[in-house]
Amino acid sequence: MSEPVVDLEKRRKASQLPEPCGWKLLVALQAQEEKTEGGVYVPDEWRAREETATTVAMVLRMGPDAFADKTRFPNGAYCKEGDWIIMRAYSGTSVEIHGQHFRLINDDCVEATTKDPRGVKRV
Protein backbone atom coordinates (compact mmCIF):
# COMPACT_ATOMS: atom_id res chain seq x y z
CA MET A 1 0.00 0.00 0.00
CA SER A 2 1.40 3.42 -0.90
CA GLU A 3 2.01 6.17 1.65
CA PRO A 4 -0.41 9.12 1.54
CA VAL A 5 0.92 12.28 -0.04
CA VAL A 6 1.75 14.76 2.73
CA ASP A 7 1.36 18.47 2.10
CA LEU A 8 4.62 19.68 3.61
CA GLU A 9 3.49 23.33 3.53
CA LYS A 10 0.36 22.51 5.58
CA ARG A 11 2.45 20.49 8.04
CA ARG A 12 4.94 23.38 8.42
CA LYS A 13 2.14 25.89 9.06
CA ALA A 14 0.44 23.57 11.57
CA SER A 15 3.72 23.19 13.46
CA GLN A 16 3.80 26.97 13.93
CA LEU A 17 0.66 26.98 16.06
CA PRO A 18 1.48 27.86 19.66
CA GLU A 19 1.38 25.19 22.34
CA PRO A 20 -0.80 26.51 25.17
CA CYS A 21 0.80 26.68 28.60
CA GLY A 22 -0.83 26.00 31.96
CA TRP A 23 -4.61 26.22 31.94
CA LYS A 24 -4.88 27.87 28.50
CA LEU A 25 -6.75 26.56 25.45
CA LEU A 26 -5.79 27.35 21.85
CA VAL A 27 -8.97 27.94 19.84
CA ALA A 28 -9.59 28.70 16.16
CA LEU A 29 -12.22 31.34 15.58
CA GLN A 30 -15.26 30.64 13.46
CA ALA A 31 -14.92 32.22 10.02
CA GLN A 32 -17.23 35.16 9.39
CA GLU A 33 -19.51 34.96 6.36
CA GLU A 34 -18.65 37.15 3.37
CA LYS A 35 -22.33 37.57 2.47
CA THR A 36 -25.55 37.86 4.42
CA GLU A 37 -28.34 35.33 3.91
CA GLY A 38 -29.89 37.85 1.49
CA GLY A 39 -26.72 37.94 -0.64
CA VAL A 40 -25.33 41.31 0.48
CA TYR A 41 -21.55 41.42 0.82
CA VAL A 42 -20.34 42.21 4.33
CA PRO A 43 -17.55 44.83 4.50
CA ASP A 44 -14.13 43.57 5.64
CA GLU A 45 -14.07 46.06 8.52
CA TRP A 46 -17.37 44.74 9.90
CA ARG A 47 -16.22 41.11 9.53
CA ALA A 48 -12.98 41.95 11.39
CA ARG A 49 -14.95 43.54 14.26
CA GLU A 50 -17.26 40.55 14.48
CA GLU A 51 -14.30 38.17 14.48
CA THR A 52 -12.72 40.10 17.35
CA ALA A 53 -15.93 39.84 19.38
CA THR A 54 -16.90 36.32 18.31
CA THR A 55 -18.17 33.91 20.93
CA VAL A 56 -17.73 30.68 18.92
CA ALA A 57 -14.47 28.76 18.39
CA MET A 58 -13.05 25.27 17.95
CA VAL A 59 -10.66 23.89 20.57
CA LEU A 60 -7.40 22.92 18.87
CA ARG A 61 -5.05 22.32 21.79
CA MET A 62 -5.24 22.32 25.57
CA GLY A 63 -2.52 23.24 28.02
CA PRO A 64 -1.31 20.57 30.46
CA ASP A 65 -3.21 22.11 33.40
CA ALA A 66 -6.47 22.87 31.59
CA PHE A 67 -9.45 21.69 33.69
CA ALA A 68 -7.08 19.93 36.12
CA ASP A 69 -8.22 21.86 39.21
CA LYS A 70 -10.74 19.47 40.84
CA THR A 71 -12.05 22.27 43.08
CA ARG A 72 -13.00 24.49 40.12
CA PHE A 73 -14.00 21.63 37.79
CA PRO A 74 -15.40 18.86 40.06
CA ASN A 75 -17.20 17.22 37.13
CA GLY A 76 -14.18 17.28 34.83
CA ALA A 77 -13.38 19.19 31.66
CA TYR A 78 -16.01 21.35 30.02
CA CYS A 79 -14.74 20.40 26.54
CA LYS A 80 -12.10 18.48 24.63
CA GLU A 81 -9.93 19.09 21.58
CA GLY A 82 -12.09 19.25 18.46
CA ASP A 83 -15.17 20.60 20.27
CA TRP A 84 -16.94 23.77 19.19
CA ILE A 85 -17.33 26.02 22.19
CA ILE A 86 -19.21 29.14 23.15
CA MET A 87 -17.01 31.52 25.11
CA ARG A 88 -17.14 35.03 26.46
CA ALA A 89 -16.81 37.79 23.87
CA TYR A 90 -13.38 39.45 23.70
CA SER A 91 -11.82 36.80 25.94
CA GLY A 92 -8.24 35.68 25.66
CA THR A 93 -5.21 36.73 23.67
CA SER A 94 -5.75 37.09 19.92
CA VAL A 95 -3.07 35.99 17.46
CA GLU A 96 -2.96 35.69 13.69
CA ILE A 97 -0.89 32.98 12.03
CA HIS A 98 -0.80 32.73 8.22
CA GLY A 99 -3.96 34.81 7.94
CA GLN A 100 -5.96 32.61 10.34
CA HIS A 101 -7.15 34.04 13.66
CA PHE A 102 -6.69 32.15 16.92
CA ARG A 103 -7.09 32.89 20.62
CA LEU A 104 -5.51 31.61 23.77
CA ILE A 105 -8.24 31.55 26.42
CA ASN A 106 -8.47 30.41 30.03
CA ASP A 107 -10.18 27.09 30.68
CA ASP A 108 -12.90 28.84 32.69
CA CYS A 109 -13.88 31.04 29.70
CA VAL A 110 -15.74 28.09 28.17
CA GLU A 111 -19.46 28.69 28.67
CA ALA A 112 -20.89 25.79 26.61
CA THR A 113 -20.25 23.38 23.75
CA THR A 114 -22.26 23.14 20.55
CA LYS A 115 -22.48 20.52 17.81
CA ASP A 116 -23.27 23.03 15.03
CA PRO A 117 -21.79 26.54 15.44
CA ARG A 118 -23.33 27.95 12.24
CA GLY A 119 -26.50 29.18 13.91
CA VAL A 120 -24.82 30.69 16.98
CA LYS A 121 -24.68 34.49 16.83
CA ARG A 122 -23.42 37.04 19.34
CA VAL A 123 -26.15 39.45 20.49
Strand partners, 35: 41
The DSSP call for residue 74 is T
- 21 C-beta neighbours (distance < 10 Å), count: 11
Within-domain flag for 104: yes
In a domain, residue 109? The reply is yes
2-28 pLDDT, tens per residue? 444 455 565 556 578 999 999 999 999
Domain membership flag for residue 78 = yes
Greater confidence (44 vs 73) lies with 73
Domain that holds residue 86: 8-119
SS3 content of the chain, % helix, strand, coil (to 5): 20, 30, 50
Taking only the tens place, the pLDDT of each residue in 90-114 is 889 999 888 888 999 999 999 999 9
Looking at the 3D structure of the chain, how many domains does it have? 1
pTM (2 d.p.): 0.76
Nearest 5°: the CA angle 28, 33, 38 is 160
CATH code of the domain containing 35: 2.30.33.40
Q: Which of 39-48, 53-62, 98-107 has the lowest mean pLDDT?
A: 39-48
pLDDT value for 35 = 66
